[in-house]
Amino acid sequence: MKKLSLIIFLGGLMFVAGKSFGLLSHNVVKADTNAVVYTSSNDPADATYPKGAKIYKEKCAACHQLTGMGVVGAFPPLKGSDYLKANKKKALIRVLNGSNHEITVNGANYSIPMPYQVDNHEDAVAVVNYVLNAWGNDYGTVTLEEAKDVKIVR
């Protein structure tokens, strides 16, 4: 009788251990299959748009994060953003004059206002071209002429 309960106990122990090991290894696999997370050290856009990358890290990363993934419900993602892809000109307006419209990005709503970030058209073009091409984005570029259409309002 004693032997039998020991066997049952050991069997149970092995089952629990196996399960938690399975769960652990499952989590690791899940993390590995997430999309590539770019950091400044491996993102080609940092070399192509060095000025924009610098401005991004100084001014934008606090909210939109170094990964460009933002914070869901508060600060929208720029990486893979359907909104950014469709509204390049609005990105120029946003960084020059800020924005307080509620917008929907990749299906989530964002209503916190974004304060203006840069003081001149050159910086606006640099940082917008960076975010259009960082983290694997392939959203094209904006020109200084387009930026100059935006009147800076203070």
Per the CB < 8 A criterion, the answer to whether 92 and 153 are in contact is no
Of positions 11, 18, 113, 140, contacts ligand HEC by CB under 6 A: 113
Query: Nearest approach, Cβ of 109 to ligand HEC (angstroms)?
Result: 9
Cβ closest to ligand HEC, residue 23 vs residue 62: 62
Pick from 101, 97, 106: nearest CA to 73: 106
Q: Which of residues 9-48 bind ligand HEC (CB under 6 A)?
A: none
Whether the Cβ atoms of residue 132 and residue 81 lie closer than 8 Å to each other: no
User: Which residue number, 25 or 104, has a Cβ lying nearer to ligand HEC?
Assistant: 104
Burial class (CB in 10 A: 0-12, 13-18, 19+), 39: exposed
**Residue 18 token pair:** 């196996």
- Measured from the Cβ of residue 135, the count of other Cβ atoms closer than 10 Å reads 21
Q: Convert residues 53-72 into a mask of x (bound to ligand HEC by CB under 6 A) and - (unbound).
A: --x---xx-xxx--------
Q: Which is nearer to ligand HEC, 4 or 153 (CB)?
A: 153
User: How many residues belong to the site for ligand HEC (CB under 6 A)?
Assistant: 30
When the beta carbons of 91 and 125 are compared against ligand HEC, the nearer one is 91
Q: Which of 35, 115, 140, 149 binds ligand HEC (CB under 6 A)?
A: 115
17-22 long-range contacts (CB < 8 A, ≥24 apart) are: none
The interface region with ligand HEC, picked from 6-14, 31-39, 102-110, 141-149 by CB under 6 A, is 102-110
Q: How far is CA 11 from CA 7, 18, 99, in A?
A: 6, 10, 61
